[in-house]
Amino acid sequence: MFVYRFLTSILFWLICPFLFIRFKGKERKERFGRVKHGFDRCIWIHAASMGEVNAVKTLVNELLNRFPNRDLVFSTMTDTGQEAARKISPKLTTFYLPLDFDRLMNRIFKKYNPEMIILVETEFWPNMLYRARKNKVPIIIVNARLSDKSFPKYRFSRLIWKSVWKPIIAVNAQSEKDAQRFESLKFNNVTNTHNLKFCVQQPEFDRKKLRLELGYDEKDYIIVWGSSRPGEEKLLLSILPALKAKIDNLKMVIVPRHLHRLPELKSLCKDRKYALYTDLQNDPDLLIVNEMGILNTFYALADLAIVGGSFFNFGGHNPLEPAFYGIPIIIGNYHQSCRDSVDRLLENAGIVVSNKKELSADILKIALDRKSAAEMGINAKRTLELNSDSLQKNLEILAKYIKQ
């Protein structure tokens, strides 16, 4: 740690002008450890990006409810993570994690004076951990994981990391394999608390009422392509005529991941009859959703969900959102960013992994066998229920240490 702190201190002064230019406004201040509010004591939660933030959203809300007299602060590394964290609760103070230089970490520790730090998954920043040890701040890792790629690296360098990991008093692992890996690295109080990602809490809808409100008929067969990415809309349009020829009352909904692509989507559909969500008057055969934050509304009324970002190499998006509504799910073969969720759904026959060539056949197989499709939806919902104890297990462990 002495060598790391010494080298990073020198590096800080060398690259400080670049960092000052790189970051702007509020982010610049927070990256340099200058935050607006201070606390006598607080619980500090840190997650890298949006995926990790969403995984612990339910846990954070429960902590806010159970410990109303405690201040909770939430730091992230990315812009999307910040955006997701701000949406959790107005009671939560959010900020960008300062750069991992000892001077900046010391500044944030003095300002916030945390009584506990909760790290999400595997966020090891040496100067942050050093300051926690120096200030006697206990750290608990929740939803902890060590990937096939990172585990051998940590195992090889564990003697170097040993002193850095000392403030970590408990590890709540997201699987038995992860628990075994943390134990092999000599972490203390390792527990398999299962994956918090499966503790999905989403709005409930009356399916029939929702369809009526949006102008759809109960007989319509609605396919929702959620979080579509470049190339996927073109793929869908290429197979749509064949699908319409075999699926009665087929209605297609495209919910793009990013709204700035709307001109591109309109151009792709210029020779087809389509409607935009904001101009919706009746049930169109093809609907493009041009509003953010309502994907779950359409999953709730769908007969089949196709999870986007997975038929071209974007890593895929969260298949647990449609699973919550008990509908069959198709995801593409590029789903590396949500592989754990897909694998768990596959174990319970709650999802189909497809690809560009087989997509049309997979859709027809589900659409034309309603009994099997219903079973798949039930299996998807059950997958969430089988892992629903994760929230309670994590809360029990955290509460024990917070009370102390």
Residues 312 and 270 reside in one and the same domain: yes
Question: Which sign does the torsion angle of CA 92, 142, 2, 28 carry?
Answer: negative
| In contact, 384 and 200? CB cutoff 8 Å | yes
Nearest to 26 by CA among 16, 36, 12, 39: 36
Identity of residue 212: L
Q: Are 163 and 239 found together in one domain?
A: no
Helices (H), 273-336: 295-301, 320-323
User: Is residue 5, in this structure, part of any structural domain at all?
Assistant: no
In a domain, 6, yes or no: no
Is 289 part of any domain?
yes
DSSP SS3 for 142: strand
Whole-angstrom distance, CA of residue 273 vs CA of residue 378: 34
**pTM score > 0.85 for this model?**
no
With a cut of 70, say whether residue 397 has pLDDT above it: yes
pLDDT at 403 over 90: no
Same domain, 156 and 32: yes
Distance (Å, whole) CA 33 – CA 110: 10
What is the number of helices (H) and of strands (E) in the chain?
Answer: 18, 14
CATH of the domain at 394: 3.40.50.11720
Q: Is the pLDDT of residue 404 over 60?
A: no
Q: Is residue 273 part of a domain?
A: yes
Greater confidence (309 vs 50) lies with 309
Tell me what pLDDT residue 8 has: 83
Both 124 and 268 in one domain: the answer is no
The pLDDT score that the predictor gives to residue 387 is 77
Q: Does 110 have pLDDT greater than 60? A: yes
Same domain, 97 and 221: no
Residue 92: per-residue pLDDT: 96
User: Residue 95: which domain range?
Assistant: 21-199+388-403
Burial class (CB in 10 A: 0-12, 13-18, 19+), 283: middle
**pLDDT of 183 higher than 70:** yes
> By percentage, how much of the chain surpasses pLDDT 90?
75
Do 162 and 247 lie in a common domain? no
Residue 4 pLDDT grade (very low, low, confident, very high; cuts 50, 70, 90): confident
Residues 322, 375 share a domain: yes
d(CA 182, CA 170): 10
Average pLDDT of the residues in 313-321: 92
- Please tell me whether residues 177 and 228 are part of one structural domain: no
The answer on pLDDT for 219 being more than 60 is: yes
Average pLDDT value over all residues in the chain: 93
Give yes or no: residues 116 and 259 share one domain: no
Write the CATH number for 305.
3.40.50.2000
User: Residues 235-257: what's their mean pLDDT?
Assistant: 96
Strand partners, 226: 255, 307
367 in any annotated domain: yes
Does the residue 7 lie in any domain?
A: no
Inside any domain, residue 2: no
Where is pLDDT greater, at 253 or 15? 253
Q: Is the pLDDT of residue 154 over 60?
A: yes
φ/ψ of residue 323, rounded to 5 = -60, -35
Structure tokens at 178: 């992860």
**CA–CA separation, 315 and 308 (whole Å):** 9
In the predicted model, is pLDDT for residue 120 greater than 90?
Answer: yes
The answer on 152 and 139 residing in a single domain is: yes
**pLDDT of the residue at 378:** 97
Residues 261-282 as b/e (b if ≥16 CB within 10 A, e otherwise) read: eeeebeebbeeeebbebeeeee
Model pLDDT, residue 201: 76
